[in-house]
Amino acid sequence: MSVSPALARPPVLVTDARWRKALAAVRALGRTGHSVIAADSTRAAPAFLSRYVRERRRYPDPSADPEGCLAALVAIAAAHPGLVVLPQDDPMVALVSRRRDAFPAGTHIPLPADEAIRTALDKGATAERAAALGLDVPTTVAIDPSGDVRAALAPLGLPLVLKPRTAWGSQGVRVVERESDLLPSVKQLAEGFGRLIAQEWIPPGAPALGVSCLLNQRGELRAAFTHQRLREFPVGGGPSTLRESVHRPELVAASVRLLRALDWRGFAMVEWRTDPRDGKPHLLEINPRFVGSLALALAAGVDFPSLLYDVAISGDCAAVSSYPAGVRCRWLIPGDLLHFVANPARMSLEPSFFEFRSKNLVYDDWARDDPLPSIAEVGVVAAQALRPRMWRYVFKRSEKLPV
């Protein structure tokens, strides 16, 4: 029996299979004929039900038991020579990057050097490096909880934004508007997340954008994709629940400039938020892995997972130089539904929350050729809705994500 060239290639491990980005990656890789192993620390991972998954594996939580998690990943790699490892969340990226030498020889890990990963995962270090390059960044101050916090943050004024240096997504991000809330917020977030930064507040009213870039092993840009957030949750600062493909070549150039300064290899998404006071996009962070908006890039024809696989195996991939603007992608349940509930202007949203079908609209999770993960995700969301701590996380983001 003959074996197709794609299936003869090494399999690919997609970790953190519970998340939308992992499901999107699994589907993209499976549709192009790759043998996909999905893995997570929980059984409740919708991607496990994808028709494109050939093997399902579990590992200990990388945050709670990093050595146990590493041992499980190494065992998977040992059983699959030449395995391509695609970590999907920041704790897993940090672990795999830091301990890549533990994997069997021949394992492909398409991440830049660990120093670049550590800079990308540290919002303070990212802001410092971007400012040194002359890029626009919000004024940023590192917080020493044992020092005079009020005096240190006085130049920022109020409101200001508190952020953990190393949390992912919008975990722990808090806008402080009143002087009386400043010290209690710093204390609470420092206890939950450790090191913090404060940044000047960028008011809403102007586009928030993400620039996804793929660089080959020579540091050359092979594909770029820009999306604009139309809605997000939490409202005013969180993962996008509705987004649209756009073209912003000047932001691509600025993003690539920053990544090249870090000697980047592989994929990254650089996040920007426009200040309506001067119309300038300000850099917020670097995501050193796929993000929730991946499904939009795929719908627009930019197959980052398959391109990254090629870079991992051969050091290069085909260049993608164009994609259509105006493609929209929606995270309906629970993302856009939560935005609708939380937004006081819910009945005047543009486009309307109730616009469920249009020519250029696709959905993050739903796929006609792979329906089971979407059905399972509804059940997972319903189960999570019964957990009071999850609701505290959803509406406050003041504690770590419940697992």
Mean pLDDT for 292-296 is 96
Residue 65 domain-assigned (yes or no): yes
Domain boundary among 172, 200, 228: 200
Distance (Å, whole) CA 19 – CA 217: 27
Which domain, by its residues, includes 148? Answer: 139-200
Total domains, the chain: 3
Q: What 3 state SS string does 249-266 have?
A: HHHHHHHHHHHHHCCCCE
Residue 313 domain-assigned (yes or no): yes
Q: At what angle do helices 66-79 and 90-98 cross, to 10 degrees?
A: 70
Query: Is the pLDDT score of 25 beyond 80?
Result: yes
Residue 15 domain-assigned (yes or no): yes
Q: What pairing do the DSSP bridges indicate for beta strands 12-14 and 36-40? A: parallel
Query: Is the pLDDT score of 250 beyond 80?
Result: yes
Burial of 24 (0-12, 13-18, 19+ CB in 10 A): buried
Same domain? For 244 and 161 the reply is no
Give the CA angle between residues 198, 204, 206 to the nearest 5°. Answer: 120
Same domain? For 247 and 350 the reply is yes
Same domain? For 325 and 222 the reply is yes
Query: Is the pLDDT score of 6 beyond 50?
Result: no
Instruction: Provide the residue type at 289 as one letter.
Output: R
Query: Over pLDDT 90: what percentage of the chain?
Result: 80
Same domain? For 212 and 285 the reply is yes
Q: Is 28 helix (H, G, I), strand (E, B) or coil?
A: helix
Q: What is the pLDDT of residues 166-186, one digit of tens each?
A: 877 677 889 999 999 999 999
CATH of the domain at 90: 3.40.50.720
Same domain? For 92 and 12 the reply is yes
Q: Which of 217-221, 257-261, 282-286, 384-388 has the lowest mean pLDDT?
A: 384-388
Evaluate whether 214 touches 307 at the Cβ level (below 8 Å): yes
Mean pLDDT for the chain overall: 91
Residue identified by tokens 């699959």 is: 80
17, 18, 23, 24 alpha-carbon torsion, rounded to 10°: -110
Same domain? For 248 and 360 the reply is yes
Residue 134 domain-assigned (yes or no): no
Distance (Å, whole) CA 227 – CA 241: 12
Residue 79 domain-assigned (yes or no): yes
Q: What is the pLDDT of residues 172-230, one digit of tens each?
A: 889 999 999 999 999 999 998 899 999 999 998 899 999 999 999 999 999 999 999 99
Question: Considering Cα of 111, then 364, then 24, then 218, what sign does the dihedral take?
Answer: negative
Q: Which among 327, 350, 324 has a CA at the least distance from the CA of 339?
A: 350
Residue 395 domain-assigned (yes or no): no
Residue identified by tokens 């209690």 is: 184
Distance (Å, whole) CA 181 – CA 183: 6
Evaluate whether 190 touches 145 at the Cβ level (below 8 Å): yes
pLDDT of residue 238: 78
Residue 242 domain-assigned (yes or no): yes
Taking the CB of residue 7, how many other CB atoms lie within 10 A of it? 12
Whether the pTM exceeds 0.85: the reply is yes
CATH of the domain at 253: 3.30.470.20
Same domain? For 221 and 355 the reply is yes
pLDDT of residue 146: 83
Same domain? For 212 and 193 the reply is no
Evaluate whether 140 touches 199 at the Cβ level (below 8 Å): yes
Domain boundary among 181, 200, 219: 200
Same domain? For 277 and 322 the reply is yes
User: Which tokens in the block code for residue 222?
Assistant: 């092979």
Same domain? For 291 and 359 the reply is yes
CATH of the domain at 194: 3.30.1490.20
Domain boundary among 184, 200, 216: 200
Evaluate whether 254 touches 135 at the Cβ level (below 8 Å): yes
Distance (Å, whole) CA 62 – CA 69: 5
Same domain? For 219 and 283 the reply is yes
Evaluate whether 360 touches 326 at the Cβ level (below 8 Å): yes
Q: What pairing do the DSSP bridges indicate for beta strands 266-275 and 280-287? A: antiparallel
Residue 398 domain-assigned (yes or no): no
Question: Which residues are CB-contacts of 243 (< 8 A; sequence separation ≥ 6)?
Answer: 210, 227, 228, 229, 230, 293, 296, 328, 329
DSSP annotation of 227? E
Q: Is 158 helix (H, G, I), strand (E, B) or coil?
A: coil
Same domain? For 214 and 167 the reply is no
Query: Over pLDDT 70: what percentage of the chain?
Result: 92
Distance (Å, whole) CA 319 – CA 335: 32
